[in-house]
Chain A
Amino acid sequence: MPNYRIHKTEYIDETKRVSFKYDGKTYFGCEGDTLASALLANGIHLVGRSFKYHRPRGIVSCGAEEPNAICQIGSKKDLTEPNVRATELELYEGLEASSQNCWPNVKFDIGGINNFISPLIPAGFYYKTFMWPKSFWKKVYEPLIRLSAGLGKSPTEPDPDIYDHKHVHYDVLVIGGGISGIIAAKMAAKNNLKTLLVDDKKILGGSTIYQNNEAIKIDDKLSSEWLKNEIQEINKLSNLTIKTRTSIAAYHGYNFLLAKENLTDHLPEEKKKNKIRQRLWKIRAKKVVIATGSIERPLVFNNNDRPGILLSNSINKYLDFYGVSCGENIILFTNNDSAYETSISLHKKGIKNLIVDLRKSASSELIKQAESLGIRIYFNHVVTNTFGYRKINSLEIMKLSEDGNTTVGNKIKLSCDCLGMSGGWTPMVHMHTQSGGKLNFRDDDQVFLPKENSEDQISVGSCNGDFDLENIIDKTVNKINKFLDIDNQDYQDTNIICSKENDKRNIWLLPNKIPLGKTKCFIDFQNDSTAKDIKLALKEGFRSIEHVKRYTTTGMATDQGKLSNMHALGIIADTAGVKMGTLGTTTFRPPFTPLTFGTLVGRNVGKFFEVVRKTSMHEWHVENNAEFENVGQWKRPWYYPKKGENMHDAVQRESKAARDSAGILDASTLGKIDIQGTDASEFLNRVYTNAWSKLAIGKCRYGLMLNEDGMVYDDGVTTRISENHYLMTTTTGGAANVLSKLEDYLQTEWPELDVYLTSVTDHYSTASICGPNSKKILNKLFPNLDLSDENFPHMSFKEDKLENINCRIMRISFTGEQSYEINIEAKYGHSLWKMCIEAGKEFNLTPYGTETMHLLRAEKGFIIVGQDTDGTMTPSDLQMDWIVSKKKFDFIGKRSLYRSDTVREDRKQLVGLLTDDPKEILEEGAQIVSDVKSKPIDMLGHVTSSYFSPNLNKSIALAVVRSGKTMKGQKLIIPMENKNINVTVSDTIFLDKENKRLNA
């Protein structure tokens, strides 16, 4: 096997070999490698196929911006992970990775199928395709897209890994552990500020840490040596926390940031076990220093995408950090000085290389050095084409014309096995813009820079457009002193020597003799969009960068255009003949690099996904085979099926038992609000539609609560416990909102009222016993209580003791039967329930769930707020005018009840429906019409509640129907998928209109 590891570095331990599998084949790397550096050490550049054209693609970069080397990690159904960048993945023993998007395999060699059909895949391909005949889509495109849509496979089973969340607060957060970040963190921490420094790499130091050029020195040391010293120093600072392998995913307002810390992704399988994989840090920082650096730009020329073509600085990092050479005969193509550093470094390690520089000429310390080393430099030349299929093997260069718009002279063919390109540097302004910051454009070197720094955020270093070391250090120190309002003198006498770049020349789309339509000048490597696509989009009329981006899919792959956005903008500006700064830029959205769902969700999975509220009786329901229904967060028994029973059977049995003898319901979930104060009665007068002042102590009353818009909001029974003390009940789902609404009015509109509200929903458990035998069961439980209708009539309240424990008993009914609700302190709820069941045995006391409750109340025509109402129903719409006080001066919603819209006669109104066939049960939500022939069919309303009533032996339903109040007896139609169901409008009360059963 070839070995491209050509020299030792302190970051690679060559004595520790690490075996890994790539595309099924075993290789060896070293401790300290990334997957990418290990592959390159093995001479592997080719790592995938391009998305549209299936062109061979190689590793391009050494960081988060990597567009090509994205892999699928692992193959287990629950643990496999797609879209992992090989350039960021630290190598570990047993790592299994495979290239994505390489059907049928990465070396498949018939020239790239799509490359052949590429004229069919222009910009806007996806949009245009939908316009074509259907048959094209089905037969040609879809199969092709499916084959080539190789952007990884999602796991198909739940993620077994553990993820964690942590909230932290810091005085200063520094993002990025390069030289400027390290200086900023040190200055902050040494001035007693609690500081956090995060960096996405394994070690701090950024690109300075492997810098080894004699032209760049600090205090007479190589900048890398100087920085290592600094890192040692900051490691000693007690109020500085350093988090490596931690990347900021999102920067929100108010300096709230999310960071992902990688804890086990670099560990071998057996060491990952039972450990937290990743931690999401939720950071609040008083001040944030952004020091995220910059990334190198590619250059856009014909066939700039062959394996073996990398960013120049990445070649440098692979060499000086990982000890790996990307080739043996390297050409560097540049428009700036930084490639010279790479060249000199390669030269020193004995690697043959030359430079193609598109600048007419240039002079600086670095260039002088290269010249004195005898490195060949072609100034004023551009690469016009490259050759080699699986890897670059040669290229052509030509001279640039004076204006740079075209090439002149003869082609020069040069052989090589690797090409480094450097189109300059793009400051990483993502964090700044994510936080809402705006950008300025600097024409000089065509970069977007943070427009302003605020009092709580600043950008320093190359992300702020400061590229040479002297600039970086001086400006960082000055700015941080000002920003943190400190006077740090540590760097006062630091002596910095560096090479200064004097010459710039930027050409976004490099000229070529070949017409653009016949070239492949890639801008976005991952989404395979080319300069031609951008131009086509402009020709077709697209102008906005956001539109061009979507139309050509440039910058829309998993790398989010880190390498491509600037070139797309540049080419648009050039083509449209406008200044680049005037176009604006696309929006940088979080996350900066992809996040797994596991990290975002943290521990809130499985049973921790949502809060579950259970009543004290819950275990009894479970033991007695209840099926549960979720009502808000509550688990409520839905029905209790006996052996062999389905839901319908169980509900019919439960409903019949409740009316024939006795039923019992766990009503603990109803909202309960304790209301006290000398103005409690007045308060109730204002929040309910009916009058409360005259309610006697010990009596209960049903109340309807409206919104200020007059629509029914909630309902429930309130009991007057003493002169200034009421207990209000609300619907189960509405409890929290009702309390909030009442508190709002009390605090903001009626602060003069002496009223105190306390939610006591969880304080009491409630067993509701109903049916003709309920009184007998109550008598067994409370033998000393006078249950006669005279002493304890319907809608009244008594207190008694059950085995010495206080109970509040309300005689109220939601079923139309005689009914008692026994409230007891929640901790006794389970005992209460069991005693009720025991006492009820001889009366066939039948536990029933919410479904039977709904059926029983529907027989009586009692509404359920939220089922028969939907926020558009007034009391009058519900035929409940009787509950609206005419005398009261005001209550919430009163004025809205006579707005022109609420008094319309043709509003949707609650009615009963009876099916002509009594066995036919309507579907809730079904539409109601009067005529199915005229089109469009006029829709009159819909069914809100529907059941088969075992007590009436027929189907019953409630519905809202336009002008329903006036339609009693009228025939209507419910059109269903296969049939029309005939119904007759009826009264809403189906059973016991005279309320005889309440006192039977």
Chain B
Amino acid sequence: MFLINCPFCGERDQSEFSSGGEAHIVRPKQPTELSDDEWAEYLFMRKNIKGIQFERWNHAHGCRKWFNVVRDTSNDKILSVYKMGEKPPVNYK
């Protein structure tokens, strides 16, 4: 069970959070301009990495804020957390 360091509240038990899948997928500004394939790319396609993955988490039973997490899925270690809108830490690129 993870301990997640909410950037707003600090370390909390995983049971307070919900996961929101892959991070840094930006909703297209003009969806109507996209082809079916381009829209499907945004809508359905997700990486499922063994290794360092960027994820969205929500402190659902806490401050209810969304934030980003860098997690190594091979050992579940959370390497970094950062707020929405912030750039991912470069050393994990």
Cα(A256)–Cα(B27), bound, Å: 37
Check if A978 is an interface residue, CB within 8 A of chain B: no
- With most chain B CB atoms within 10 A of its CB, the pick from A254, A256, A894, A899 is A254
Check if A744 is an interface residue, CB within 8 A of chain B: yes
Cα(A743)–Cα(B43), bound, Å: 19
Check if B66 is an interface residue, CB within 8 A of chain A: yes
Check if A748 is an interface residue, CB within 8 A of chain B: yes
By the criterion CB–CB under 8 Å, are B76 and A253 in contact? yes
By the criterion CB–CB under 8 Å, are B39 and A899 in contact? yes
Check if B46 is an interface residue, CB within 8 A of chain A: no
By the criterion CB–CB under 8 Å, are A899 and B3 in contact? no
By the criterion CB–CB under 8 Å, are A899 and B40 in contact? yes
What 1/0 flags go to A125-138 for Cβ under 8 Å of B?
Answer: 00000000000000
A474 contacts across to B, CB distance below 8 A: none
* Segment 63-93 of B: residues with Cβ below 8 Å from A: 64-66, 75-76, 84-85
Which of the residues B1, B13, B65 comes within 8 Å of A747, measured between beta carbons?
A: B65
By the criterion CB–CB under 8 Å, are A895 and B32 in contact? yes
Which of the residues A254, A709, A744, A896 comes within 8 Å of B1, measured between beta carbons?
A: A254
By the criterion CB–CB under 8 Å, are B60 and A740 in contact? yes
B58 contacts across to A, CB distance below 8 A: 740, 743-744
What 1/0 flags go to B30-44 for Cβ under 8 Å of A?
Answer: 111010100110010
B40 contacts across to A, CB distance below 8 A: 899
CB A898 to nearest CB in B, in angstroms, measures 9
B66 contacts across to A, CB distance below 8 A: 743-744, 747-748
A284 contacts across to B, CB distance below 8 A: 3, 13
Cα(A894)–Cα(B1), bound, Å: 38
CB A625 to nearest CB in B, in angstroms, measures 37
Which of the residues A254, A256, A744, A895 comes within 8 Å of B34, measured between beta carbons?
A: A895
Check if A252 is an interface residue, CB within 8 A of chain B: yes
B31 contacts across to A, CB distance below 8 A: 890, 894-895
Check if B62 is an interface residue, CB within 8 A of chain A: no
Check if A708 is an interface residue, CB within 8 A of chain B: yes
Nearest 5 CB-CB pairs, A to B? A895-B31, A256-B1, A747-B66, A749-B27, A253-B76
Complex A-B: 5 CB contacts under 8 Å: A253-B2, A744-B58, A747-B66, A749-B26, A890-B31
Check if A918 is an interface residue, CB within 8 A of chain B: no
By the criterion CB–CB under 8 Å, are B43 and A436 in contact? no
By the criterion CB–CB under 8 Å, are A889 and B56 in contact? no
Check if B51 is an interface residue, CB within 8 A of chain A: no
B60 contacts across to A, CB distance below 8 A: 740
What 1/0 flags go to A737-755 for Cβ under 8 Å of B?
Answer: 0001001100111010000
- With most chain A CB atoms within 10 A of its CB, the pick from B1, B34, B36 is B1
* Segment 1-38 of B: residues with Cβ below 8 Å from A: 1-3, 13, 18, 20, 26-27, 30-32, 34, 36
Cα(A436)–Cα(B34), bound, Å: 44
By the criterion CB–CB under 8 Å, are A895 and B39 in contact? yes
Check if A229 is an interface residue, CB within 8 A of chain B: no
Nearest opposing residue in chain A for B68, CB measure: A748
B34 contacts across to A, CB distance below 8 A: 895
CB B53 to nearest CB in A, in angstroms, measures 15
Cα(A740)–Cα(B64), bound, Å: 8
Check if A900 is an interface residue, CB within 8 A of chain B: yes
- With most chain B CB atoms within 10 A of its CB, the pick from A436, A744, A747, A889 is A747
By the criterion CB–CB under 8 Å, are B1 and A252 in contact? yes
By the criterion CB–CB under 8 Å, are B32 and A889 in contact? yes
Q: A253-B1, A254-B3 are in contact. Are A748 and B56 (CB under 8 A)?
A: yes
By the criterion CB–CB under 8 Å, are B75 and A436 in contact? yes
CB A586 to nearest CB in B, in angstroms, measures 21
Chain B residues with a Cβ under 8 A of chain A = 1-3, 13, 18, 20, 26-27, 30-32, 34, 36, 39-40, 43, 56, 58, 60, 64-66, 75-76, 84-85
What 1/0 flags go to A221-257 for Cβ under 8 Å of B?
Answer: 0000000000000000000000000000000111010
B2 contacts across to A, CB distance below 8 A: 253-254
- With most chain A CB atoms within 10 A of its CB, the pick from B27, B76, B84 is B27
Nearest opposing residue in chain B for A895, CB measure: B31
Cα(A254)–Cα(B30), bound, Å: 42
Nearest opposing residue in chain A for B18, CB measure: A740
Nearest opposing residue in chain B for A759, CB measure: B64
Cα(A751)–Cα(B30), bound, Å: 17
By the criterion CB–CB under 8 Å, are A896 and B56 in contact? no
CB B41 to nearest CB in A, in angstroms, measures 12
Cα(A256)–Cα(B15), bound, Å: 12
* Segment 707-721 of A: residues with Cβ below 8 Å from B: 708-709
Cα(A743)–Cα(B75), bound, Å: 30
What 1/0 flags go to A866-897 for Cβ under 8 Å of B?
Answer: 00000000000000000000000110001110
CB B77 to nearest CB in A, in angstroms, measures 9
B27 contacts across to A, CB distance below 8 A: 708, 749
* Segment 390-436 of A: residues with Cβ below 8 Å from B: 436
CB A183 to nearest CB in B, in angstroms, measures 28
A894 contacts across to B, CB distance below 8 A: 31-32
Cα(A771)–Cα(B70), bound, Å: 57
CB A145 to nearest CB in B, in angstroms, measures 39
Nearest opposing residue in chain B for A736, CB measure: B60
A899 contacts across to B, CB distance below 8 A: 36, 39-40
Nearest opposing residue in chain A for B30, CB measure: A890
Cα(A252)–Cα(B26), bound, Å: 34
Cα(A751)–Cα(B83), bound, Å: 12
By the criterion CB–CB under 8 Å, are B32 and A890 in contact? yes
Nearest opposing residue in chain A for B33, CB measure: A895
A254 contacts across to B, CB distance below 8 A: 1-3, 76
Nearest opposing residue in chain B for A894, CB measure: B31
Nearest opposing residue in chain A for B11, CB measure: A284
By the criterion CB–CB under 8 Å, are B85 and A751 in contact? yes
B75 contacts across to A, CB distance below 8 A: 436
Cα(A899)–Cα(B75), bound, Å: 39
Nearest opposing residue in chain B for A284, CB measure: B3
CB B10 to nearest CB in A, in angstroms, measures 13
B43 contacts across to A, CB distance below 8 A: 708-709, 896
What 1/0 flags go to A433-448 for Cβ under 8 Å of B?
Answer: 0001000000000000
Nearest opposing residue in chain A for B31, CB measure: A895
* Segment 727-769 of A: residues with Cβ below 8 Å from B: 740, 743-744, 747-749, 751
* Segment 894-943 of A: residues with Cβ below 8 Å from B: 894-896, 899-900
CB A549 to nearest CB in B, in angstroms, measures 26
Cα(A436)–Cα(B73), bound, Å: 13
Cα(A747)–Cα(B57), bound, Å: 12
CB B43 to nearest CB in A, in angstroms, measures 6
Cα(A900)–Cα(B36), bound, Å: 7
A740 contacts across to B, CB distance below 8 A: 18, 58, 60
Q: A895-B39, A899-B40 are in contact. Are A751 and B32 (CB under 8 A)?
A: no
Contacts A708-B43, A895-B34 aside, 6 further interface pairs with beta carbons under 8 A come to A284-B13, A743-B64, A744-B66, A751-B84, A894-B32, A895-B31
CB A180 to nearest CB in B, in angstroms, measures 27
By the criterion CB–CB under 8 Å, are B32 and A747 in contact? no
A253 contacts across to B, CB distance below 8 A: 1-2, 76
